[in-house]
Amino acid sequence: MTSASGTPRTTTRRAGPAFLGALAVLLSLPIVGCDGEPGGPPRLRFATWFGTREAAEMAPIVAAINARNAGRFVLEMITIPDAYLTKIDTMMAGGLAPDLFLLSAEYLVSYASVGAIADLDDRIRRDPTIDLADFYPSAISASTCRGRLHSLPWVMMPIVLYFNKDLFDQAREPYPDATWDWARFAVAARALTKRDGSGRAARWGFVQHTWPPYLIWVWQNGGDVLSADGKRPTLTDPRTVEALSFLDRLVNVDGVTPSAGTVSQLGVNELFKSGRIAMFFGGSSDDHDRTPGLRVGVAELPKGRVRATFAWMGHLVVSSRTRHPDLAYVAWRELLEGFHRWKIVAPRRSLARQLERFEPRKAAARSVILASMDYSRPVRGVVEQTDWDGFVLEKLLLPVLRGEERADRAAAVTQRKLERILETTR
């Protein structure tokens, strides 16, 4: 499950200017930390937010790396399934940072800006085993901070449209396809919303709350929330406001989506799986298309002025505090290769085209997923990403979705808040 910006919920953190400044000072202190057994190979710690199932799936990959590098280093995986980034920050501040750790793409700028993660640009570009041309361009841009590569994604998951075929058949609505635009989507969402005798919705055509990311609609309308140079917010851009107004109409005028209370109580995933939602924007690796008892189809998202979708990307980064940078890079490269042949979708064209080899259950959705990869985009992070996300949620997204504020007014208020955030980091 992900947040509005796509970050796994286990990675939430509180990091303001004071914290980042303190962390920068602490990172300038001498390196301390654990090593291997006396006389034995160094021990490299690799931190993840994985739960039990994913950690078990990851274990053979780590074991194979250790077998190939016997005598050079021992890679140890540590799992932090709750308050992940808060605990990573605490470890860094205490001089016990893991050598490698996972990081959601939007936080790359935050960590790179204080020197918490290693700049890998020179190593990556000299590495004959890495073909950067094979990576999707958006994967490269998501890994770049101030013109330098600090990582490469271990996964790239574009959002696609899942739809309940039975509900479409009952409403005699044609299934979604690549020709759908916003207008056609809105027509279907209204037709698929069913109300009881009292006028209360018993089933909804779509669901829009903090998920799916509002950025999808903004990008599809040709707008954005951050200027190309990353120096100013652009929420008051007419195309951004127009996209937010479209969401306002879907939610508060057309009534095609459940209330925030219903979503909070039951959860968006469960609403779809229980047959109460006809269409759902979900990650390409989600299991919605194999929900027991449902006939579920997969399609590309409806298009606006342009085609665009959000892709959550996870990074594998090397701590700037590792005592063994050369060995940490070897472990980073081998872990990345392991991820690319395990998690879907790999951010490399050659492996993405082999999607069904790594996940046979996604074979039917292959063409939709590959098409979506070509126009998927990650969140472009800022130094104060946590504060940015908080203001967008509290001052823009929730007031608009609740019908408490017009899109243009909420955008103007949020614009001023975000301008102050960016001013503090210049």
Q: Provide the token pair at 115.
A: 């020197």
Q: How far apart are CA 279 and CA 257, in angstroms?
A: 10
Predicted pLDDT of residue 22: 47
The C-alpha atoms of residue 192 and residue 292 are separated, in whole angstroms, by 21
Answer for the pair 222, 303: CB distance below 8 angstroms, yes or no.
no
All domains of the chain in start order, with CATH: 9-157+311-377 (3.40.190.10), 159-309+383-423 (3.40.190.10)
DSSP 8-state class, residue 253 = I
Residues 6 or more apart whose Cβ sits within 8 Å of residue 155: 285, 312, 313, 314, 339, 343, 344, 345, 346, 347
Helix axes 17-27 and 84-93, enclosed angle (nearest 10): 40
Q: Is the peptide bond before 345 cis (omega within 30 degrees of 0)?
A: yes
pTM of the model: 0.90
- Residue 270 token pair: 């469960």
Q: Give the torsion through C-alpha atoms of 120, 122, 125, 129, to 10 deg.
A: -70
In angstroms, rounded to a whole number, what is the distance separating the alpha carbons of residues 186 and 192? Answer: 10
Per-residue pLDDT of the chain (426 residues; tens, 9 = 90+): 343 333 443 444 444 444 455 455 455 545 444 555 567 899 999 999 999 999 999 999 999 999 999 999 999 999 999 999 999 999 999 999 999 999 999 999 999 999 999 999 999 999 999 999 999 999 999 999 999 999 999 999 999 999 999 999 999 999 999 999 999 999 999 999 998 888 788 899 999 998 999 999 999 999 999 999 999 999 999 999 999 999 999 999 999 999 888 888 888 888 999 999 999 999 999 999 999 999 999 999 999 999 999 999 999 999 999 999 999 999 999 999 999 999 999 999 999 999 999 999 999 999 999 999 999 999 999 999 999 999 999 999 999 999 999 999 999 999 999 999 998 776
Expressed in percent and rounded to 5, the helix, strand and coil fractions of the chain are 45, 15, 40
- Separation between Cα atoms, residue 180 and residue 182, nearest integer Å: 7
- Give the residue carrying structure tokens 């127009």: 242
pLDDT of residue 159: 98
Q: Which two tokens stand for residue 422?
A: 């960016």
Separation of alpha carbons 379 and 225, rounded Å: 10
25 exposure class (CB count in 10 Å sphere: 0-12, 13-18, 19+):
exposed
Q: State how far the Cα of 236 lies from the Cα of 345, in Å rounded to an integer.
A: 34
Please give the C-alpha separations between residue 421 and each of 101, 252, 387, 415, in angstroms, as whole numbers.
Answer: 27, 30, 8, 10
Rounded distance, CA 98 to CA 103, Å? 12
**Separation CA 399–CA 403 (nearest Å):** 6
pLDDT for 199 equals: 78
Q: Are the C-beta atoms of residues 176 and 188 closer than 8 Å to each other?
A: yes
